[in-house]
């Protein structure tokens, strides 16, 4: 490994715990032995028929340049600007939108646009496990700040203490993976006020990267506020992989907050294309771009997801588990009985029930259930959760 670049090794180090998990946890498991796979946000049912129809329609060439090189194309940018503008009540222009390969691509794009080697990015813990890898691959520095213990709100005082002159970005992920918390407008306004004060102190803006791939996956009518609505120096990343439950279709965008002062807004828009070229032509495939206006109308069944959330949450709570009831996302987060996530998840795995130990998210006493499992899997696994309750 040492023959290769330091940053490739540093990126790999951040993922080591995940790769180790993959290599050991499901080693030698054959599909027939899996009772329920509740580990990752992957589909366990056939895709939405409307999604398949849309893809078929847009893969069929209608002009000679159908499969020519594409950057961020005009039509999808217009469609996204209109839809997002309506959703967040902000006047996005097509130039504010960069089409990307999912939220992953948008996050990598934002990091490269805003950060030089040695610059710092503040991240929530627990939180998604790939921010640090993407940062390390470009020699930027992750700075983790734990969320508040009970509410899983951002610890705004702790974020303030973690800010240095090298801080360029604070990542806000709402609805939050893995806790399912959706941050209130008041809470985000408080964060914005602190960031405005710190930006003024250092004489340059600290940006929010609002990681919103679960924005439309919310329960019980919980309202959503994007940080972009309360803080002008915000970039939004989005993925269609969650709402369509098709993460293998790499498709999403990075959106610049239209309230951002003009010189920053214009420069970000201008540099996005060259940065994506530099990131290996990081634009979505042509058919995905043609499909965007149609894909915008599609969604997995959120009511069915909410029913699975209720079923799992209520059953586990009844057996004494300490679970957080998620307001959004497709995850259920809770305390592992006995306080050791690895032994708990291994005990379940012996019975073909797979969940994620919090060890992967820097929280070794907790575990995560992914509700994208189908209803049959959920019913079949419940007796094992009952068996291992404290």
Interface residues with ligand PLP (CB under 6 A) are 41, 102-104, 128, 173, 177, 211, 213, 239, 241, 247, 252
Closest distance to ligand PLP from the beta carbon of 210 (Å): 11
Rounded distance between C-alpha atoms, residue 245 and residue 147, angstroms: 27
Rounded CA separation 112/102 (Å)? 16
Q: Decide: helix, strand or coil at residue 167.
A: strand
CB of 60 to ligand PLP, least distance (A): 25
**Could you give the C-alpha distances from 118 to 36, 69, 111, 246, in angstroms and in order?**
42, 34, 12, 35
The DSSP call for residue 296 is T
Strand pairing category for 234-239 and 167-173: unpaired
**Of 173 and 324, CB closest to ligand PLP:** 173
Instruction: Check if the beta carbon of residue 341 is closer than 8 Å to that of residue 364.
Output: yes
Cβ distance to ligand PLP smaller for residue 126 or 337: 126
Any residues with CB less than 8 A from the CB of 309 and at least 6 apart, and which?
Answer: 219, 325, 326, 332, 371
Residue with Cβ nearer ligand PLP (170 or 315)? 170
Between 35 and 103, CB nearer to ligand PLP:
103
Q: Which residue, 289 or 384, has its beta carbon nearer to ligand PLP?
A: 289
Residue nearest to ligand PLP (CB): 102
Quick check: 97 and 81 in contact, CB under 8 A?
Answer: yes
Q: Pairing relation of β-strands 366-370 and 331-335? A: antiparallel
CB of 171 to ligand PLP, least distance (A): 9
CB 384 → ligand PLP: shortest distance, Å? 25
Alpha-carbon distance 203 to 180, whole Å?
35
Least spacing, CB of residue 166 vs ligand PLP, in Å? 23
Q: Which is nearer to ligand PLP, 337 or 358 (CB)?
A: 358
Considering Cα of 56, then 69, then 93, then 248, what sign does the dihedral take? positive
At its nearest, how many Å lie between ligand PLP and the CB of residue 353?
21
User: Could you tell me how far CA 308 lies from the centroid of its own chain?
Assistant: 21
Whole-number minimum distance, CB 83 to ligand PLP, in Å? 17
Q: Is 222 exposed, middle or buried (0-12, 13-18, 19+ CB in 10 A)?
A: middle
Between residues 205 and 213, which has the closer beta carbon with respect to ligand PLP?
213
Q: Which residues pair with 328 in a beta bridge?
A: 218
Proportion of the chain in helix, strand, coil states, percent, rounded to 5: 45, 15, 40
Q: Would you call 185 exposed, middle or buried from its count of C-beta atoms within 10 A (0-12, 13-18, 19+)?
A: middle
Instruction: State in angstroms the smallest separation of the CB of 111 from ligand PLP.
Output: 12
Task: Give 102 or 258: the residue with its C-beta nearer to ligand PLP.
Answer: 102
Using DSSP's 3-state secondary structure scheme, residue 99 falls into strand
DSSP E strands, the chain: 36-37, 97-100, 120-125, 141-146, 167-173, 207-211, 234-239, 252-256, 323-324, 331-335, 353-354, 356-357, 366-370
Closest contact distance (angstroms) between CB of 246 and ligand PLP is: 9
Q: In the complex with ligand PLP, which residue's Cβ is closer, 96 or 212?
A: 212
**Closest separation between CB of residue 66 and ligand PLP, Å?**
25
- Of the pair 210, 275, the CB lying nearest ligand PLP is at 210
């Amino acid at each position: 490994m040492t023959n290769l670049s330091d940053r490739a090794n540093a990126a790999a180090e951040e993922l080591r715990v995940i790769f180790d998990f993959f290599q050991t946890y499901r080693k030698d498991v054959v599909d027939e032995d899996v009772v329920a796979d509740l580990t990752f946000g992957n589909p366990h049912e056939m895709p939405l028929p409307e999604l398949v129809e849309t893809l078929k329609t847009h893969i069929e060439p209608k002009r000679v340049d159908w499969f020519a090189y594409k950057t961020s194309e005009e039509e999808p940018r217009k469609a996204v600007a209109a839809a997002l503008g309506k959703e967040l009540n902000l006047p996005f222009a097509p130039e504010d939108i960069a089409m990307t390969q999912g939220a992953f691509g948008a996050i990598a794009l934002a990091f490269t646009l805003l950060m030089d080697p040695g610059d710092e990015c503040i991240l929530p813990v627990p939180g998604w496990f790939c921010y640090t890898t993407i940062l390390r691959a470009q020699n930027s520095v992750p700075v983790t700040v734990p969320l508040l213990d009970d509410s899983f709100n951002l610890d705004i005082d702790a974020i303030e203490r973690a800010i240095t002159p090298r801080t360029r970005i604070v990542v806000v992920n709402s609805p939050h993976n893995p806790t399912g918390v959706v941050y209130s407008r008041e809470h985000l306004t408080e964060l914005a006020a602190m960031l405005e004060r710190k930006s003024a102190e250092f004489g340059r803006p600290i940006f929010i990267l609002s990681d919103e791939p679960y924005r439309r996956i919310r329960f019980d009518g919980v309202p959503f506020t994007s940080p972009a609505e309360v803080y002008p120096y915000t970039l939004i990343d989005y993925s269609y992989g969650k709402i369509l439950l098709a993460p293998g279709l790499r498709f999403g965008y990075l959106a610049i907050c239209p309230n951002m002062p003009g010189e920053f807004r214009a420069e970000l828009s201008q540099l996005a294309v060259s940065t994506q070229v530099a990131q290996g032509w990081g634009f979505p495939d042509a058919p995905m771009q043609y499909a965007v206006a149609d894909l915008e109308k599609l969604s997995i069944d959120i009511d069915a997801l909410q029913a699975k959330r209720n079923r799992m949450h209520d059953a586990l709570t009844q057996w004494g588990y300490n679970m957080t009831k998620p307001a959004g996302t497709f995850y259920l987060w809770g305390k592992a009985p006995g306080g050791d996530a690895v032994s708990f998840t291994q005990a379940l795995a012996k019975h073909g029930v797979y969940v994620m130990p919090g060890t992967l998210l820097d929280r070794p006493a907790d575990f995560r259930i992914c509700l994208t499992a189908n209803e049959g899997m959920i019913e079949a696994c419940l007796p094992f959760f009952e068996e291992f309750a404290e």
